[in-house]
Amino acid sequence: MMKAKAVLKALLCSYTLTGVLLLILAFLLFKMDLSEKLVSMGIVLIYILSCFLGGLLLGKKMKKQKYVWGLLLGVGYFVLLIGVSCLVERGFPMNLGHLITTLIMCVGGGSLGGMIS
């Protein structure tokens, strides 16, 4: 029960950071008329950074097998991301290549955060 609570807290922190960073990106897009390429790069960085932070927090909390907990956080982040996207888009939001790339970014960021913690 304690571990599940720690995972949920770390996921909440990750998604909070995601929300704040996406708001900043949206503001920059509005003010600076950023290109589509820059916005896409920003979104990728936000995914990785958010999962990294969550993995870092969860790794510090768990103390053992930190990279595994970071990986778990990355998978949880990905599952929630895809679930919300499916609800908003009313269907599957992306092609298989993009889906796999997003999974690798989330899991990689979370694992790296766990390893560094």
* pLDDT of residue 95 exceeding 90: no
Helix (H) or strand (E) holding 71: helix 66-89
Provide mean pLDDT across the span 34-63.
93
Q: Please state the three-class secondary structure of 13-49 as a single string.
A: HHHHHHHHHHHHHHHHHHHHCCCHHHHHHHHHHHHHH
* pLDDT of residue 108 exceeding 80: yes
Q: Is the pTM of this model over 0.95?
A: no
Provide mean pLDDT across the span 14-19.
95
Q: Where are the chain's structural domains?
A: 2-116
CA angle 84, 88, 15 (to 5 degrees): 35
